[in-house]
C-alpha cells in the first residue's frame, strides 16, 4: 500500500503534464476550445483521484515514500534526483492542489463561456501546466526540483494573469507579478546554492537528517535561511513584496481562485513548512518571519477595508491570511501554518469562485454596483457567506481551528507583539468581509448594476467581464463612465421599479454552482469535524501554550467585526462616512496603498532608470564611439585607394607586368 502511494502520486503529477503536452502539441484540439477543456478536466479528475488514493495510502504515517530517478549523474551518486516524495504533508498538499485545480477548471467552463475557442484552449493548456508544476513543487524530493517547479508556477501565474493580454492593465499586472516574484526567486536560488555549499546535498531528506544530527554548520546558516525566506516572501506576497498580488486580479477570476488564493501563493508557506527543521536552527530569522508576517497581515487587512473592488478585497485578504500562516511558522509551529494553508485553500477558493459568480452575473467588480443580490442569487449568497464565516474563524466553519491554532502558537511562543497584531487583524478580517457581504448581497440593488448588466446582455458580442472592467478600472474614469451609462440608459433608471421585478442578475450555470457547493460542503465538513475534534482531528495536538481565554477572545473579536460591519452597512446605524472620517489619515494612506507602490516606482524611476541611463551613455559614446571611429577610418582609406581601380584592362596588364618584373628582380637580387 505504501509503495503504491508513490506510483499514485506520480500518476497524479504526470496526468496534467500529459494534458498540457497534448493541448500544446495537438493544435487542432486546442483550437476547438471546449473539447480541449473537457480533456483537461478529465485529466485533472484523474489526478485528483490518484492524489486522494495516494493520501489514503500514506495515512498518518511519518514515513516518506520516495520514487526517484537520477537526474544530474556524477561520479558516485547523482547530484540531484527527480521524482516524488510522498509523505503526510506532501500528499495532503497534493490533494488540495488537485482538488482546487479540478474544481476551478470545471468552473471555468461556465465562467469563460463566451471566450473564443482558441483562447479557451490556451487557457486550459496553461491550467494543466500549472497543475503539473504545482504538484511537482509539492512532491519535490529535493530543493532543485522544487526550485524548477517554483519557477514554472511563477511562469504559469504570469501567463494566466496576462490571459487577456490585449488589455494593457492585464499585461502590466502580469509583468509586475513576474518581476516581483522573480526578485524573491533570486534570493531562493542563492539560498539553495549556499545551502549546497554548506552541506553538499540538495536532498530534503538528507538535509533533514543532517539537521537532526546537528551536522549543518551554524555559521552562515542565518543568511541561507533568510535567502530562502526571501523566495517565500516574493511568492507568498509578504511585505514589501505584496504589491503584485492585488494587481494579479487582472486575470480571470477562476485563475485568481486557483493561483492567487489557494495554491501558488501558498507555495512560499509550503516551502517554509518543508524546511521548518532548517529554520528551527536559526531563531533570529524565525523572529523576522513572524514579525513581517504579522505586519503584512495587519497592513493587508487595513488595505482590504478601503477597497471597492470585490476581487481586490479578497486579494488583500489573501495577503493577510498568508501573513497569518507566516507568523505561525515564525512562531515555530509550522503545522499550524500548514493547517491554515489547507483550510484557507478551501474557503478562499470558495470565496473567489463565489465572487466570480457575482461578477459573472453583475458584469462589474465594484461593490457599489452590487447590492441585494441575495434574493437573485440565493445559492451563491449562501456559499459566499459560508466562506466568509470560515475566513472569520467562527466555530463550526472551516477556518476556525486553524486560526485558533495559529493564535495559540503565537501566544505560546511569547510573541506578544505579533499576537496583538493578529488579534487586531482577526477583527478587521470579519469587518471587511462582512462589509462585502452586506454591500453585495443585502441592502438595495444598485441601479448601476442593473444598467451595466442590461448593457452587457444587450450587446451581442459584448463581453460582460470586459464591460465590468472598463467601469471599475480607474476611479476617475469609472465615475464618468458610470455617469455616461446612466445617461445612455436613462429610461431604465427612471423605471427602476419595473427593472427591479425582472431578474437580470441570476444564478450562474450548474458548471459554476457545482464547484461552489463542493467547496462549501468541504469547508463545512472540515469546520464541523475540527470543531468537534472528530476523525483525523482527534489526533491534532492541543496547543500547549494556548490559554483558555484565547478562543472566546478570538471569536469575540470576530463577532465584534461582524457587528460593526452590520451596524455600518446593513442597519445604517453608523454612517459609513463618519466611520471613514474617524480613520481619516489612515484611510487616506490606505487609499494610496501606503505609498508602497509609489516607493517601488520611485526606486524604479530614479535608481534603475538613472543607472540604465549611465549604462546607455557608456554604450552609445564609449563602446559605439570606438567602433564608429574605426569604421570611419576604414571607409576613408577605401575612398582614397579606389582611384587605383581604373577599370581599364590595359592598366591591369601593366600591373601584372610590373608585378612579374618585381618578382624577377626579387629572385635575382635577394635570393
Partner 1 sequence: MGLQPYLLLSATVFCIGLFGVMTRRNTIGILLGIELMMNAVNINLVAFARYTAVASGMVFTVFTICITVTEAALGLAIVILLFRVRRTVMADHLDLLKG
Nearer to partner 1, 552 or 649 (CB): 649
Give the whole-angstrom CA distance, residue 433 versus residue 425: 12
The correct pick among 214, 647, 668, 670 for binding partner 1 (CB under 8 A) is 647
State yes or no: residue 644 binds partner 1 (CB under 8 A).
yes
Nearer to partner 1, 212 or 657 (CB): 657
Min CB(627)–partner 1 separation in Å: 25
Min CB(640)–partner 1 separation in Å: 11
Nearer to partner 1, 74 or 645 (CB): 645
Choices 10-18, 436-444, 494-502, 651-659; region in contact with partner 1 by CB under 8 A: 651-659
Angle at 231 (CA atoms; ends 228, 232), nearest 5 degrees: 90
Beta strands in 516-638 (DSSP E): none
Cis before residue 62, ω within 30 degrees of 0?
no
Min CB(652)–partner 1 separation in Å: 9
Give the whole-angstrom CA distance, residue 653 versus residue 114: 80
CA–centroid distance for 668 within its chain: 86
Choices 25-33, 244-252, 269-277, 642-650; region in contact with partner 1 by CB under 8 A: 642-650
Yes or no: say if 13 and 135 are a contact pair by the CB < 8 Å rule: yes
State yes or no: residue 649 binds partner 1 (CB under 8 A).
yes
**Residue 585 φ/ψ region, left for φ over 0, alpha for ψ in the -120 to 50 degree band, beta for the rest:** alpha
The correct pick among 28, 213, 645, 668 for binding partner 1 (CB under 8 A) is 645
State yes or no: residue 643 binds partner 1 (CB under 8 A).
yes
Nearer to partner 1, 498 or 642 (CB): 642
Min CB(671)–partner 1 separation in Å: 23
The correct pick among 414, 458, 498, 642 for binding partner 1 (CB under 8 A) is 642
Question: DSSP string of 256-315?
Answer: HHIIIIISGGGHHHHHHHHTHHHHTT-HHHHHHHHHHHHHHHHHHHHHHHT--BHHHHHH
Min CB(634)–partner 1 separation in Å: 15
Number of residues that bind partner 1 (CB under 8 A): 12
Find all residues with CB under 8 Å of 584, minimum gap 6, and list them: none
The correct pick among 595, 611, 617, 654 for binding partner 1 (CB under 8 A) is 654
Nearer to partner 1, 165 or 652 (CB): 652
Grouping H, G, I as helix, E, B as strand and the rest as coil, residue 83 is strand
Min CB(656)–partner 1 separation in Å: 10
Min CB(657)–partner 1 separation in Å: 7
Nearer to partner 1, 488 or 658 (CB): 658
Choices 28-36, 41-49, 473-481, 652-660; region in contact with partner 1 by CB under 8 A: 652-660
Q: What are phi and psi of 85, to 5 degrees?
A: -125, 110
Nearer to partner 1, 642 or 668 (CB): 642
Rg for the chain, CA atoms, rounded: 30
Find all residues with CB under 8 Å of 457, minimum gap 6, and list them: 464, 504
State yes or no: residue 650 binds partner 1 (CB under 8 A).
yes
State yes or no: residue 213 binds partner 1 (CB under 8 A).
no
Min CB(649)–partner 1 separation in Å: 6
203-225 burial, b at 16+ Cβ within 10 Å, e below that, comes to bbeebeebbeeeebeeeebeebb
Choices 32-40, 140-148, 244-252, 640-648; region in contact with partner 1 by CB under 8 A: 640-648
Min CB(647)–partner 1 separation in Å: 3
Per-residue H/E/C for 506-543 = CCCCHHHHHHHHHHHHHHHHHHHHHHCCCHHHHHCCCC
Nearer to partner 1, 63 or 651 (CB): 651
Nearer to partner 1, 532 or 653 (CB): 653
State yes or no: residue 59 binds partner 1 (CB under 8 A).
no
Min CB(26)–partner 1 separation in Å: 59
SS3 content of the chain, % helix, strand, coil (to 5): 80, 0, 20
Nearer to partner 1, 632 or 651 (CB): 651
Yes or no: say if 397 and 389 are a contact pair by the CB < 8 Å rule: yes
* 278 half-sphere exposure, CB direction, 13 A CA radius: 31
State yes or no: residue 646 binds partner 1 (CB under 8 A).
yes
Nearer to partner 1, 60 or 647 (CB): 647
Yes or no: say if 267 and 137 are a contact pair by the CB < 8 Å rule: yes
The correct pick among 648, 667, 668, 669 for binding partner 1 (CB under 8 A) is 648
Choices 222-230, 376-384, 538-546, 639-647; region in contact with partner 1 by CB under 8 A: 639-647
Residue 140 grid coordinates: 519535490
State yes or no: residue 659 binds partner 1 (CB under 8 A).
no
Choices 27-35, 44-52, 528-536, 641-649; region in contact with partner 1 by CB under 8 A: 641-649
Find all residues with CB under 8 Å of 575, minimum gap 6, and list them: 568
| Other beta carbons less than 10 A from residue 187's beta carbon | 18
Nearer to partner 1, 476 or 644 (CB): 644
Yes or no: say if 242 and 296 are a contact pair by the CB < 8 Å rule: yes
- Could you say which residues in the range 157-186 bind partner 1, by CB under 8 A? none
| Other beta carbons less than 10 A from residue 494's beta carbon | 11
Binding mask 597-636 for partner 1 (x = CB under 8 A): ----------------------------------------
- Could you say which residues in the range 528-557 bind partner 1, by CB under 8 A? none
Nearer to partner 1, 214 or 645 (CB): 645
Nearer to partner 1, 630 or 653 (CB): 653
State yes or no: residue 498 binds partner 1 (CB under 8 A).
no
Nearer to partner 1, 116 or 657 (CB): 657
Give the whole-angstrom CA distance, residue 302 versus residue 263: 23
Angle at 412 (CA atoms; ends 409, 418), nearest 5 degrees: 70
Min CB(179)–partner 1 separation in Å: 54
Residue 19 grid coordinates: 494534458
Handedness of CA 419, 423, 428, 434 (dihedral sign): positive
Min CB(663)–partner 1 separation in Å: 16
Min CB(601)–partner 1 separation in Å: 58
Residue 368 grid coordinates: 457599489
Binding site for partner 1 (CB under 8 A): 642-650, 653-654, 657
Amino acid at each position: 500500500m505504501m509503495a503504491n502511494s508513490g506510483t499514485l502520486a506520480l500518476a497524479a503529477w504526470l496526468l496534467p503534464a500529459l494534458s498540457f503536452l497534448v493541448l500544446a502539441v495537438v493544435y487542432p484540439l486546442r483550437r476547438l476550445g471546449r473539447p480541449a477543456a473537457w480533456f483537461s478536466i478529465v485529466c485533472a479528475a484523474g489526478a485528483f483521484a490518484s492524489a486522494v488514493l495516494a493520501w489514503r495510502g500514506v495515512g498518518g504515517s511519518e514515513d516518506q515514500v520516495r520514487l526517484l530517478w537520477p537526474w544530474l549523474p556524477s561520479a558516485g551518486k547523482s547530484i540531484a534526483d527527480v521524482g516524488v516524495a510522498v509523505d503526510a504533508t506532501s500528499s495532503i498538499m497534493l490533494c488540495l492542489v488537485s482538488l482546487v485545480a479540478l474544481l476551478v477548471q470545471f468552473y471555468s467552463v461556465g465562467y469563460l463561456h463566451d471566450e473564443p475557442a482558441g483562447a479557451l484552449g490556451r487557457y486550459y493548456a496553461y491550467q494543466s501546466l500549472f497543475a503539473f508544476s504545482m504538484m511537482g513543487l509539492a512532491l519535490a524530493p529535493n530543493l532543485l526540483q522544487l526550485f524548477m517547479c517554483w519557477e514554472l508556477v511563477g511562469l504559469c501565474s504570469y501567463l494566466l494573469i496576462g490571459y487577456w493580454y490585449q488589455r494593457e492593465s492585464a499585461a502590466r499586472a502580469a509583468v509586475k507579478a513576474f518581476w516581483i516574484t522573480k526578485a524573491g526567486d533570486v534570493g531562493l536560488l542563492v539560498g539553495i546554492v549556499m545551502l549546497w555549499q554548506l552541506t553538499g546535498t540538495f536532498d530534503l531528506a538528507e538535509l533533514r537528517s543532517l539537521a537532526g544530527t546537528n551536522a549543518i554548520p551554524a555559521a552562515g546558516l542565518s543568511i541561507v535561511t533568510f535567502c530562502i525566506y526571501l523566495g517565500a516572501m516574493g511568492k507568498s506576497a509578504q511585505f514589501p513584496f505584496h504589491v503584485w498580488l492585488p494587481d494579479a486580479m487582472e486575470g480571470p477570476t477562476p485563475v485568481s481562485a486557483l493561483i492567487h488564493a489557494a495554491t501558488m501563493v501558498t507555495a512560499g508557506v509550503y516551502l517554509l513548512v518543508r524546511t521548518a527543521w532548517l529554520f528551527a536552527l536559526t531563531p533570529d530569522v524565525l523572529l523576522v518571519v513572524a514579525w513581517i508576517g504579522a505586519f503584512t497581515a495587519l497592513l493587508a487587512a487595513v488595505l482590504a477595508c478601503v477597497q471597492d473592488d470585490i476581487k481586490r478585497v479578497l486579494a488583500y485578504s489573501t495577503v493577510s491570511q498568508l501573513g497569518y500562516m507566516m507568523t505561525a511558522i515564525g512562531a515555530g509551529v509550522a503545522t499550524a501554518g500548514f493547517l491554515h494553508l489547507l483550510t484557507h485553500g478551501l474557503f478562499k477558493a470558495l470565496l473567489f469562485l463565489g465572487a466570480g459568480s457575482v461578477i459573472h452575473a453583475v458584469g462589474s467588480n465594484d461593490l457599489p454596483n452590487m447590492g441585494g443580490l441575495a434574493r437573485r442569487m440565493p445559492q451563491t449568497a449562501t456559499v459566499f457567506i459560508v466562506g466568509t464565516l470560515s475566513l472569520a474563524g467562527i466555530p463550526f466553519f472551516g477556518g476556525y481551528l486553524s486560526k485558533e491554532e495559529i493564535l495559540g502558537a503565537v501566544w505560546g511562543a511569547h510573541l506578544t507583539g505579533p499576537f496583538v497584531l493578529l488579534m487586531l487583524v482577526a477583527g478587521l478580517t470579519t469587518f471587511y468581509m462582512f462589509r462585502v457581504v452586506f454591500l453585495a448581497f443585502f441592502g438595495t440593488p444598485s441601479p448601476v448594476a442593473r444598467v451595466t448588466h442590461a448593457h452587457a446582455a444587450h450587446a451581442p458580442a459584448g463581453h460582460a467581464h470586459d464591460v465590468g472592467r472598463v467601469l471599475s478600472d480607474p476611479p476617475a474614469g469609472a465615475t464618468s463612465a458610470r455617469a455616461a451609462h446612466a445617461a445612455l440608459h436613462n429610461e431604465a433608471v427612471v423605471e427602476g421599479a419595473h427593472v427591479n421585478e425582472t431578474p437580470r442578475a441570476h444564478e450562474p450555470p450548474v458548471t459554476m454552482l457545482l464547484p461552489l457547493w463542493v467547496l462549501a460542503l468541504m469547508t463545512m465538513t472540515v469546520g464541523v469535524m475540527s470543531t468537534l475534534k472528530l476523525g483525523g482531528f482527534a489526533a491534532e495536538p492541543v496547543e500547549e501554550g494556548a490559554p483558555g481565554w484565547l478562543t472566546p477572545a478570538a471569536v469575540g473579536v470576530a463577532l465584534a467585526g461582524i457587528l460593526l460591519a452590520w451596524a455600518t452597512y446593513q442597519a445604517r446605524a453608523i454612517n459609513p462616512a463618519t466611520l471613514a472620517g474617524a480613520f481619516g489619515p489612515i484611510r487616506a494612506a490606505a487609499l494610496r496603498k501606503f505609498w508602497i507602490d509609489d516607493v517601488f516606482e520611485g526606486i524604479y524611476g530614479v535608481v534603475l532608470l538613472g543607472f540604465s541611463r549611465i549604462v546607455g551613455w557608456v554604450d552609445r559614446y564609449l563602446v559605439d564611439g570606438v567602433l564608429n571611429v574605426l569604421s570611419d577610418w576604414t571607409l576613408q582609406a577605401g575612398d582614397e585607394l579606389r582611384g587605383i581601380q581604373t577599370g581599364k584592362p590595359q592598366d591591369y596588364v601593366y600591373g601584372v607586368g610590373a608585378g612579374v618584373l618585381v618578382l624577377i628582380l626579387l629572385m635575382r637580387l635577394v635570393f
